[in-house]
Chain A
Amino acid sequence: MPYSAEGEGVMSMNRRQFLKIAGVSTIVGLGGTSALNALRGSDLEASHVLTDEKALNAKRWAMVIDMSKFKTGEDYKRVIKACHSIHNVPDLGNPKDEVKWIWTDTFAHTFPSQPNEYMEEGIKHKPFILLCNHCANPPCVRVCPTKATFKRKDGIIMMDQHRCIGCRFCMAGCPFGARSFNYKDPRPFLKEENKEYPTRTIGVVEKCTFCFERLARGLVPACVEASQEAAKAAGGEPGMFFGDLDDPKSEVRKLLATRYTIRRKPALGTDPSVFYVVGGDKNA
């Protein structure tokens, strides 16, 4: 210390020194305990938690959407309702606060980098299905400061709602507008609750998760299942397909090999996993 205590012996301590030592000890004591706790990690050993054998596995999950198979309003409502109802997605009713995991918009808004005023009228006015693209090179994961959003080994961009601090950096980072924030408490805006799935709380971000909880039980995403079951019942072909992009024998790879597909904003290098079949039937 540059200044010595006045009128006291060399070994005694003055008030300022005492307060400094007390303050530092308190901080080290409190901070040290919590730091040690944080570093302690999980108590569960690896042998105690397993993956279900029924679970569907992949190296990279992907979706192919054939918009030509979506013909009526009911076709769209069906897949959106399948997702939003089982995941307790609230209906805020206004574009400012709205929360949506899967929705529709026109070609011009889905693919804004491909403006074409003179394109075929059928496609020009047809609603397209939009959702999180589960990019292989996701900017949202890159910017998240807590790894609350992260990329799984199977390519799914996951959300950990327990960890999200609601900074909304991921929303700024996503070039596809796929993410929603809970600007209000979502529960009053839920007409029906699915008691087997949680809701979210105010102040966290949410989005499509490729139905990770269904994949863990051996089921495909709800939107895909709804589309395929409706097609089977009507004797037609489904509009949504799901599979492993890394498996050359998967349904999605076969579709990609035989049809012309596009992705949203590919020039940005995010490598989206959702493909749109273009063209299709005569009256697509």
Chain B
Amino acid sequence: MKLYDGGKIIAGIIIFFFLVTFPFFLNIGKVNAKPEPKIDTPEIQKLAEKKCIEPKAFMRAEHMTLLNDWRDAAVRYDRRLYVNSEGKQFTISLQNTCMHCHSNKKKFCDECHNYVAVKPHCWTCHIAPKEKES
């Protein structure tokens, strides 16, 4: 079987291959450490029970959905109290509840987000806490 325009096709395939794989080439040799979000902020250390509003596994998997639901609950339905799975109440607020304990955005939130190249657009409006030297 004859391959018409073979030169152009093979050249195109090679260019396509490089376009698709260049992120891998770009990162060869770079060491990307596993993300290690730090939860040793002064505010967390002051807590009697070092618990987030929900268990760690749930928060890791669902904090995005939880924050979306919180957003709608507080802004659209005027419900600002969250009752967690153990019946404890928390004020619905990213800045004043979540970031009150997790006051180290760079060493906590950004650790995982940078690793998976996720850029949540919360921070253009919600003020991130000032990083303290811990």
Contact = CB atoms under 8 A, between A and B. Distances in A.
Interface stretch (A102-110, A166-174, A193-201, A267-275): A193-201
B124 A216 contact: no
7 contacts: A42-B69, A51-B78, A153-B78, A158-B76, A195-B129, A199-B127, A201-B121
B127 A49 contact: no
Interface string B88-124: 0101100110000000000000000000000001001
B25 interface: no
Nearest to B84: A48
A162 interface: yes
Given A150-B76, A195-B129, 17 more contacts: A42-B68, A42-B69, A43-B65, A44-B73, A49-B81, A49-B82, A50-B82, A152-B78, A153-B78, A161-B125, A162-B71, A162-B75, A196-B95, A197-B127, A200-B125, A202-B124, A216-B78
Contact of B79 (A51, A193, A196, A201): A51
A52 B72 contact: no
Interface in A31-53: 42-44, 47-52
Interface of B: 62, 65-66, 68-69, 71-73, 75-84, 89, 91-92, 95-96, 121, 124-127, 129
Contacts of A55: 78, 80
Contacts, number: 70
B77 to A, nearest CB: 7
A247 interface: no
A201 B101 CA distance: 25
Contacts of A198: 95, 125-127
Contacts of B92: 49
B83 A49 contact: yes
Contact of A201 (B71, B73, B82, B124): B124
B78 A212 contact: yes
Interface residues of A, number: 30
Interface of A: 42-44, 47-52, 55, 88, 150, 152-154, 158, 160-162, 193, 195-202, 212, 216
A212 B79 CA distance: 11
B70 to A, nearest CB: 8
A43 B69 contact: yes
A44 B76 CA distance: 14
Contacts of B96: 196
A199 B125 CA distance: 5
Contacts of A51: 78-81
B127 A193 contact: yes
Contacts of B66: 44
A158 B78 CA distance: 10
Contacts of A195: 95, 127, 129
A47 B129 contact: no
A49 B75 contact: no
Contact of B80 (A52, A88, A152): A52
Contacts of B76: 150, 158, 160
A88 B121 CA distance: 18
Nearest to A47: B83
Given A43-B69, A44-B69, A44-B73, A52 B81 contact: yes
B81 A50 contact: yes
A239 B49 CA distance: 47
Given A158-B75, A162-B71, A199-B125, A48 B82 contact: yes
Q: Which 4 pairs across A and B sit closest by C-beta, in order of nearness?
A: A201-B124, A49-B79, A44-B69, A50-B81
Contacts of A44: 66, 69, 73
A139 to B, nearest CB: 21
A264 B86 CA distance: 50
